[in-house]
Amino acid sequence: MTTVAVKGFSWRHAGRSAWAVRDVELTVEPGERILLLGPSGAGKSTLLAGIAGLLPTDTGEQEGEILLDGRPPTGTHRPGILFQDPETQLVMARSGDDVAFGLECRGMPAGAIWPRVTETLRTVGFGHPLDRATAALSGGEKQRLALAGVLAPQPDLLLLDEPTANLDPAGAELVRAGIAAALADRRRGMILVEHRVAAALPLIDRVVVLSAGGGVAVDGPPEKVFAEHGASLAAQGVWVPGSVPPEHRTTRTAGAELLRAERLGYRHRDRPTPALSDVDLAVPAGQVLAVLGPNGSGKSTLALLLGGLVPPSSGRVVATPALAAGGRGDTPRRRDATVPPHRWRAATLAGRIGSVFQNPEHQFVAARVRDELALGPRRLRRPAGEIAATVDDLLDRLRLAHLAEANPYTLSGGEQRRLSVATALSAAPRLLVLDEPTFGQDLRTWRETVALLGGLADEGRGIAVVTHDTDLVGALADRTVSLAAGRLTTPAEVA
């Protein structure tokens, strides 16, 4: 059984002036299950990496120490740690080989490896054969396999760094079930970093909250911590139980129709079955249309089609004159009304339909926040004075003014999300198409995003958002349709 002693631990990444973790004092007894909370930037992930022995001394500056049973963690003297992104945790091409990888590293005799692999996969509920290609697994299955790989050496302590943040609800459920099974015999301790507290509550018996300025702010049993500090934790972005805002009641009135999908279908090259078929849908101005569906239902493909980014394989996307009149500046022609969005020049498209991708970083092309915002209007050849006014207005409205000179890649998750919406708005499109705008966000960023999008719809913009976040739909959507296996399951009433 493992005892963790964190003694006055501080860590500063090489080349940074601020400490990532400051003066943390913490003892974890064998078998304890801790939920580690704290505002974004308090150093939760860095502390976990330190306990896992993953902060090599040449990558930063350390004060204090972390001991596992009296020795610093290193080599095979480490707890198990599961990270957020399943793609960058799987090492091998076949599922069984991946679980065996950690056992090989620990020098386990070959004869003992395969029985252990099979046993661990059974524990986490992985139902596929050992030779199943890891590339063919869904996100949730990949993460469950990664969990098996971490558990196979039977660590006494399990560290979990937002293990379900990258997964859809079904995938997250798979992984949570696997974690519960791994902890069922109560022989193993756990430290969990997770924004969504409700889902974690059944697994934990102690809550530790890091403070933004360093040290431990709160430490105690869950009921007590949430009763006494629930409000301040919610303000810091923690999804404490009951923190989801009430559903919005007043349905906005639909304005003119902007974009229409008619029998829309799409098939990826080399795929036998279409990703999307026969979708009929209308997006009006002044309303939020939500498209719900699990991963693989064709949601993201629909967002790309509506955004005019890929050509449909069948059916069509029709921009109404109300939409195609926007984005002036780049050779507006009368026949534009009949040209489908995927054939518009990029600058014209950006002036009419703004697309916001799931990962904000995919959309960043400039070295400064200010240049990022100036790009859209510049491509539309707007006058310099107008560009400057647009940029300043967006910086103010989205509270990015203090970051105007910063590099977009250095922003926090919430700031990056605001910037990605701002970049889409900079060319003043009447329609916004967003793909999972609230993916993996803490409560604070989530609330900001909801308020931002609601405000844009109130201004009269059309908003189409594809998501599996039902809280988002409840708080924001005026109309909701559902996709399953590439088809609409709820008929959309065409306005």
Partner 1 sequence: MRLAPDLAPPDARAARLNPLGKLGAVLILSLAVLASIDPVTPTVALVGVLAVLPFGGLAYDRLLRRAWPVLFGAVLVGVANMLFAADQGGAVLLAAGPVHLTTGSVAAGGALGLRVLAIALPGVVAFATTDPTDLADCLVQQLRVPARFAIGALAAYRLMPLLADEWELLGLARRARGVDAGRNPLARGRLFVATLFALLVGAVRRGGRLATAMDARGFDAATPRTFARRHPFTGTDAAVLAGGAVLAAVALAVSVGTGTYQPLVG
User: Mask: binding to partner 1, 286-305, rule CB under 8 A, as x and -?
Assistant: ------------------x-
Instruction: Supply the minimum distance, in Å, between the C-beta of residue 150 and partner 1.
Output: 7
What are the structure tokens assigned to 253, written together? 């009135």
Among 140, 274, 312, 351, contact with partner 1 (rule: CB under 8 A): 351
> Kindly report the CA angle at 415 between 413 and 416, in degrees rounded to 5?
65
Q: 47 — alpha (psi -120 to 50), left (phi > 0) or beta? A: alpha
Residues contacting partner 1: total by CB under 8 A: 66
Among 225, 282, 347, 395, contact with partner 1 (rule: CB under 8 A): 347
Is residue 368 a contact point for partner 1 (CB under 8 A)?
Answer: no
Q: How many Cβ atoms sit within 10 Å of the Cβ of residue 362?
A: 9
Instruction: Supply the minimum distance, in Å, between the C-beta of residue 146 and partner 1.
Output: 8
Is residue 357 a contact point for partner 1 (CB under 8 A)?
Answer: yes
Among 42, 47, 52, 319, contact with partner 1 (rule: CB under 8 A): 52
Residue 135 or 495 having the CB closest to partner 1: 135
Is residue 267 a contact point for partner 1 (CB under 8 A)?
Answer: no
Is residue 166 a contact point for partner 1 (CB under 8 A)?
Answer: no
Integer Cα distance of 190 and 467 in angstroms = 31
Instruction: Supply the minimum distance, in Å, between the C-beta of residue 269 and partner 1.
Output: 11
Integer Cα distance of 111 and 454 in angstroms = 60
The DSSP secondary-structure symbol of 71 reads B
Identify whether the C-beta of residue 11 lies closer than 8 Å to the C-beta of residue 5. Answer: no
Among 14, 58, 71, 107, contact with partner 1 (rule: CB under 8 A): 107
Is residue 307 a contact point for partner 1 (CB under 8 A)?
Answer: yes
Instruction: Supply the minimum distance, in Å, between the C-beta of residue 429 and partner 1.
Output: 10
Stretch in the footprint of partner 1 (CB under 8 A) among 15-23, 207-215, 340-348, 447-455: 340-348
Stretch in the footprint of partner 1 (CB under 8 A) among 101-109, 218-226, 450-458, 468-476: 101-109
The single residue listed with the structure tokens 């039977």 is: 154
Is residue 266 a contact point for partner 1 (CB under 8 A)?
Answer: no
Is residue 245 a contact point for partner 1 (CB under 8 A)?
Answer: no
**CA–CA distances in Å: residue 113 to residues 4, 146, 187, 259:** 28, 16, 21, 57
Q: How far is CA 69 from the centre of its chain?
A: 35
Give residue 282's identity as a one-letter amino acid code.
Answer: A
Residue 112 or 198 having the CB closest to partner 1: 112
Rg for the chain (alpha carbons), in Å? 25
Among 5, 108, 216, 404, contact with partner 1 (rule: CB under 8 A): 108
Is residue 43 a contact point for partner 1 (CB under 8 A)?
Answer: no
**CA–CA distances in Å: residue 287 to residues 41, 44, 293, 350, 417:** 35, 38, 20, 20, 21
Stretch in the footprint of partner 1 (CB under 8 A) among 47-55, 278-286, 449-457, 470-478: 47-55
Among 250, 340, 335, smallest CA distance to 287 is for 250
Residue 382 or 447 having the CB closest to partner 1: 382
Is residue 349 a contact point for partner 1 (CB under 8 A)?
Answer: yes
Identify whether the C-beta of residue 21 lies closer than 8 Å to the C-beta of residue 75. Answer: no
The residues in 439-468 that bind partner 1, with binding defined as CB under 8 A, are none
Q: How far is CA 90 from the centre of its chain?
A: 19
Is residue 38 a contact point for partner 1 (CB under 8 A)?
Answer: no
What is the chain's length? 495
Identify whether the C-beta of residue 117 lies closer than 8 Å to the C-beta of residue 96. Answer: yes
Integer Cα distance of 135 and 95 in angstroms = 9
Integer Cα distance of 479 and 490 in angstroms = 11
Integer Cα distance of 478 and 485 in angstroms = 24
Among 94, 132, 267, 328, contact with partner 1 (rule: CB under 8 A): 94
Residues that bind partner 1 (CB under 8 A): 49, 52, 54, 75-76, 78, 80-81, 83, 85, 87-94, 97, 100-110, 113-114, 117, 133-135, 146, 149-150, 153, 304, 307, 309-310, 345-347, 349-351, 354-355, 357, 361-365, 375-376, 379-380, 409, 423-424, 427
